[in-house]
Structure formats: structure tokens, C-alpha cells
A = this chain, B = another copy of it.
Amino acid sequence: MSNILSIGAGVMGTAITIPATNNGHNALIVGTNLDKEIINSIKEKSYHPILDVQLINTIAKHNNEMTQEDIDKADVVVVGVNSQGLDWFIDYVKKFNIEKKKFLLITKGMYVNDNNKLDIFPNKILKNIDQDINITAVTGPCKAQELANKNLTNICFVNEELDIAIQISNIFKNNFYIINTLSDLIGSEASAALKNIYAIIIGYSQIYYSNNKKIFNPESALFSHCLNEMNSLVVSMGGRTDTVYGLSGLGDLHVTSGTGRNGSLGKFLAKNKKYSEIISNELKGETIEGALLIQDLQIFFQQHVDIKKLPILNNILLSICKDQKLDVPWSDLNI
């Protein structure tokens, strides 16, 4: 029997514990400061109010209640916050002794590192925590609600030390949570982060070209062009093409473009609204990972990437960061 500690009680931080608890393992879910109602609900009735599921083998604590013993008992610590919560997470866990702990990272994002290079979140964590920890990333197509409902989900656990990914996967895997293991951490994490940006323009294409009925041709073409750009970026960072076109990139962009807030932003942009208007009205207060990421990386992209070779990214950047009208640069996409 293993013990899972998940820090972050949102939909994904909770959903990932469900295959493990279903396998008979125990979960402790610790809330961020935004999760107080969720934690109270789990404490009182083992019920997650957003996922609308009953949890088994699970207890919950507010973050001021977690002890060193909780950490010591944990076989795996899930990083269950969103990209905006990562700095909080780092500050929070580094106060504990986490030496030799194994982390499972579901947060997706990238950052510009001290050498002014595009880098992946696992390196941000390692850089900012002065203890010897090990990180396995979870990537691939997963809507949290579906996983929470035990719908079949096939994702990747990724670790440069493949045996650790395999070892952790044994706790979680079962007939509804099918885990592929791979070692291309850069490719997986970069794909997972970048797909949030490209999902914006896929959402745009679903509305912009349709009038009364759904139109398929432009979205399908754009889907392949977006992956081609993602591949250039990921390969330039040292990731692999087969990862981009595997579950971590293609699979995740596919699931994300069907639903989700990045796509919703694109759909509003397709109605000729400006980003600044949408974010103050229709999507006020929402975390839109793709928009946050391109804002974070804006200066880097402008200074260090040949943006002419990434015309789709460039147009998304101008739309989000400069409030320009979004369009698909079809004539520049001759692949």
C-alpha cells in the first residue's frame, strides 16, 4: 500500500489521486489557499464539489495543517497546482525536509531561465529547491473530469530516469488509467506547455470559419500547421519530434482543442473581440494558461526566436500581447 500526497485540491490535483486510491492506495490532499471550501468538503463528506465525485481512501488537510510526518509517509508528492501556483508551491514545500522525495508534476508551463534560454518547469523547481528531489512529469490528453469519472485515459509519466517513472506508474496504473512511460522530459513538458498557446487559435478556427453550421476543413489544416510549429520550437529546445506527435503534444492539443478555456478565448477572439475586452468581461477571473504563457515568454520570443518562421505563434502573440486582431497566416504556412 502506497501513500500519495497531493498538494493542490483543484480538479487535476484531485483527479490524479483517483486511479491510485481506486487501486487501494491512500491519498492525502492538501489545499492551497484557494482550496479551502474543497478541503472542508472532503473533510466533512469525502466529496469533491467541482468534480462532483465521492473520494475513497482519501483524507484532506488545509495547508497549515500538513506536517513533516505527512511528507515522510508519502511515497509520491503530486505537484497539483496550476502554473500560477508554482511559486507558492515551491515556497511551501521547501520549508519541509523533502530530501530524496519523488514528485509527480501535473503543472504545465515554461519559463526563461537565468541563461536566457527557454526552459521547462521541472528545472524551475529543481533550481529553486535546495534539496535532492526527483521529478516525474505527467503529460498527455487528460480532461480531469473524465479521469475522475474513471473514463479511459492514456497519458505519459516522463522521467529521464525511466525506471522511476515506471516505479511510480505502478501505483497509479489500472484498466482506466493507462500509463506510457518515456524519458524525453524536455519534449514532453515543452509540448504540454505550448499546446495551451496553440489551443487558442484552434478554438478561433472552430468559430471564425463557421456560420450556421460547423466547418471542418480550416481547423483540420490548422491543427497540422500548429503541430509543425510546436515541433520546431520543441526540437530547438532539445525535445524529440516523436514526443511532439505523441500523447504529450498531438494528443494533448487534440483533447484541449475540443474544450477548455484556451479554446474559449480563441472563440471570443473569432467574434472580433479584443483580448483586453474578453479578459475584462467574458473570461474575467479565469486562468487561461496559454495566454499567461505567451505573455511570460513574449520578450523572449521577440528577441530570441525567428518569429517569421513561427507565423502562427507570432499572430497569437500580437493578439494577446498587443491586442491586435487574430488571424491565421495561411499564405505563410506552406508545409
CB distance from A257 to the nearest CB of B (A): 9
The docked-state distance in angstroms from the alpha carbon of A331 to that of B11 is 26
Using a CB-CB cutoff of 8 Å, which residues 165-186 of chain A contact chain B?
Answer: 178, 180-182
Contact B255 A217 (CB under 8 A): yes
Residue A46 CB within 8 A of the other chain? no
Number of residues on chain A facing chain B (CB within 8 A): 46
Residue A215 CB within 8 A of the other chain? yes
Question: Which residue of chain B lies nearest to A179 when distances are taken between CB atoms in the complex?
Answer: B334
Contact B217 A146 (CB under 8 A): yes
CB distance from A270 to the nearest CB of B (A): 13
Using a CB-CB cutoff of 8 Å, which residues 239-266 of chain A contact chain B?
Answer: 241-242, 245-247, 250-252, 254-255, 258-259
Given contacts A152-B217, A154-B330, A218-B151, contact A224 B250 (CB under 8 A): yes
Contact B250 A209 (CB under 8 A): no
Given contacts A154-B217, A180-B335, contact A224 B209 (CB under 8 A): no
* Identical chains bound together, number: 2
- When distances are taken between beta carbons in the complex, the residues of chain B under 8 Å from A242 are 228, 335
- When distances are taken between beta carbons in the complex, the residues of chain B under 8 Å from A220 are 141, 251-252, 254-255, 258
Residue A227 CB within 8 A of the other chain? yes
CB distance from A258 to the nearest CB of B (A): 5
- When distances are taken between beta carbons in the complex, the residues of chain B under 8 Å from A228 are 242, 245-246
- When distances are taken between beta carbons in the complex, the residues of chain B under 8 Å from A241 are 241
The docked-state distance in angstroms from the alpha carbon of A146 to that of B220 is 13
Contact A143 B217 (CB under 8 A): yes
Given contacts A250-B250, A259-B216, contact A221 B335 (CB under 8 A): no
- When distances are taken between beta carbons in the complex, the residues of chain B under 8 Å from A216 are 141, 143, 146, 255, 258-259
Contact B154 A209 (CB under 8 A): no
The docked-state distance in angstroms from the alpha carbon of A222 to that of B178 is 12
Residues of A bordering B, CB below 8 Å: 140-143, 146-147, 151-155, 178, 180-182, 209, 215-224, 227-228, 231, 241-242, 245-247, 250-252, 254-255, 258-259, 330-331, 333-335
| Contacts beyond the supplied A146-B216, A180-B333: 4 A-B pairs with Cβ under 8 Å | A152-B218, A154-B330, A182-B335, A228-B245
